[in-house]
Structure 1
Amino acid sequence: MDIFRLMKDIKTHLKLSFDEVNRWFDKDNEILNFQPSNGGWTIRQILEHIYLTNFYLLILIEKGSKKAMRNYLDLDLNLEIENYSFSQDKFEKVGKYGAFEWIRPEHMEPKGELNLTEIRSLISQQYHQCLNYLDLMKNGEGLLCKTTMTVNELGKINVYEYIYFLSLHAQRHLTQMTNNELEVI
């Protein structure tokens, strides 16, 4: 898959993931606050976790995009585009809830400090940030910076792949929220 097709696919994935996350804010309080029998997070907590994870991933995405745009001056973008190949298999498990153990840092755990309206607004802003980075790097520049991602041993990934990771992370938690809702019903 070429990078331009990947960017288009990432935009589509982002829209679908963020639209689906947004729908969860409209659930009633019984569903949002239900504590699952496995002791896991409530949907309200999961939504906060998605926001927090996006927040920290977007710091890395911002740094990566700035570095990629600087690298554009010194590196051969056409050569990078020519030699790029996307390893879908590497990323597939990221979006699947329970596919592997995921130990998140403490700063990404929900603390209950924000209300749902704030979280919804912030997640919407994060979606637009992702789109802005994709627009900023519309010529393939995101290939010019790689950063290590330790989750599921992904290794060095480029800025586009980081954005895709962010979207897959949300997708992973959509399954978890669905499981919670099914337990309530």
Structure 2
Amino acid sequence: MKISINQLLADLKIITENNIEFAESLLDQNNETLNFRTSENSWSVLECLEHLNFYGKFYLPEIEDRITKSRFSSKKTEFKTGLLGNYFANMMLPKAKFNKMKTMKTANPIHKILDRSVVEKFINQQHKMFELLEKAKTVDLEKTKTSISISRLIKLKLGDTFRFVIYHNLRHIKQAENILIR
């Protein structure tokens, strides 16, 4: 898939802005609402965000480090996704009927005692993501590569990493929205 770099970054910024807006609205909710789960084995709103915070803790420094150290400046106007990166990114997009996925045990926050600080941390991470999307304009999104959380041996194009992480955020924000609606 090919997409204009400006369009890609603009689309990802919009998703990130919407995530910030949603998370800020959660600050008006009480802990009982934020910790409500629809069943014993489902996640609460705070658990959805804590899961995203776990991945943000890995990906935000990884992305920032790769942008800072990249020796490939931005010269292209289009981004061409990688085969694996495109697959991972598209897998994360929320579907009309929510498709469940297994999460790694270390990234599963179920039954943790959580409070509003989870929301504040998520908001801070989303602001950092927005800042990194802005910085990404200066580097080649194809030649600049990042490691992924499950293996440092697998590298994705920076543009695909942004898509993967931000679509993953979107997926769990939609999940959190659905919990609040019930």
Q: TM-score, normalised by structure 2?
A: 0.74
Deviations 1:155-175 (A, max 9, x none): 743223323322212211123
Listed as ranges, the matches of 1:31-46 within 5 Å are 31-37=33-39, 39-46=41-48
Name whichever structure is richer in strand by fraction: 2
Residues 58 and 113 from structure 1, CA distance in 2 versus in 1: closer, same or farther, beyond 3 angstroms?
Answer: farther
For structure 1, list consecutive stretches of 5 or more residues without a partner in the other structure. none
Count of aligned pairs: 171
Q: What pairs with 1:151-162 in structure 2 (closer than 5 Å)?
A: 156-162=155-161
Q: Indicate if the aligned counterparts of 1:49 and 1:109 stay in contact, CA closer than 8 A.
A: yes
Deviation above 6 Å: which 4+ runs of structure 1? none
Q: What amino acid does structure 2 have at the position aligned with 1:176?
A: Q
Over 3 Å counting, the alpha-carbon distance change for 1:114 and 1:100 in structure 2 is closer
Q: 1:24 is matched with which residue: 23, 26, 33?
A: 26
Describe the shift of the 1:20–1:83 C-alpha distance in structure 2 as closer, same or farther (beyond 3 A): closer
Q: Report percent identity of matched pairs.
A: 20
When the two chains are superposed, the root-mean-square deviation of aligned CA atoms in Å is: 3.1
**1:23 maps to amino acid:** S
Give ranges in structure 2 of 5+ residues lacking alignment. Answer: none
More helix by share: 1
Deviating more after overlay: 93-102 vs 173-182: 93-102
| 2:115 alignment partner AA | N
TM-score, length-scaled by structure 1 = 0.73
CA deviation after TM superposition for structure 1 residue 105, in Å? 4.9
Q: Which has the larger radius of gyration?
A: 1
Q: Equivalent residue for 1:99?
A: 99
